[in-house]
Amino acid sequence: MEKLEKLLKYIVSEMVKTQEAINITHEEKKDLIIFKIRVADGELGKVIGKNGLTANSIRGVMQAAAVKDKLNVNVEFLD
């Protein structure tokens, strides 16, 4: 799971200017891992993208990376 968190942090850090403001937490529920992302004010739009396309792409990459470890992953973007 540490690899997944590093991957997520890398992806998000390349999209925002204020890397030190990135806060990623995770929560485990049965067979699901939920990553929760917070970024600096005004940068959440960059991470979510137009119509949520970027956010959905991030979710897809994370789910594909988790398949190797037989994990289910979800990513939430918080204000």
Instruction: Look up the pTM and report it.
Output: 0.90
Query: What six digits make up the tokens of 58?
Result: 């991030």
33 contact partners, CB below 8 Å, separation of at least 6? 1, 4, 26, 27, 66, 71, 72, 73, 74
Residues 27-37 have a mean pLDDT of 93
The total number of structural domains that make up the chain: 1
Q: Is the pLDDT of residue 37 over 90?
A: yes
Collapsed DSSP state (helix, strand, coil) of residue 17: coil
Query: What pLDDT is stored for residue 30 in this prediction?
Result: 85
Residues 46-69 have a mean pLDDT of 95
CATH of the domain at 65: 3.30.300.20
Which one, of 55, 67, 50, 68, lies nearest residue 8 by Cα?
Answer: 55
Quickly state the pLDDT bin for 1 (edges 50, 70, 90). Answer: confident
Quickly state the pLDDT bin for 69 (edges 50, 70, 90). Answer: confident
Enclosing domain of residue 73 = 2-78
C-alpha 77/C-alpha 72 separation (Å) is 17
Q: Are 12 and 47 contacting, i.e. CB atoms less than 8 angstroms apart? A: yes
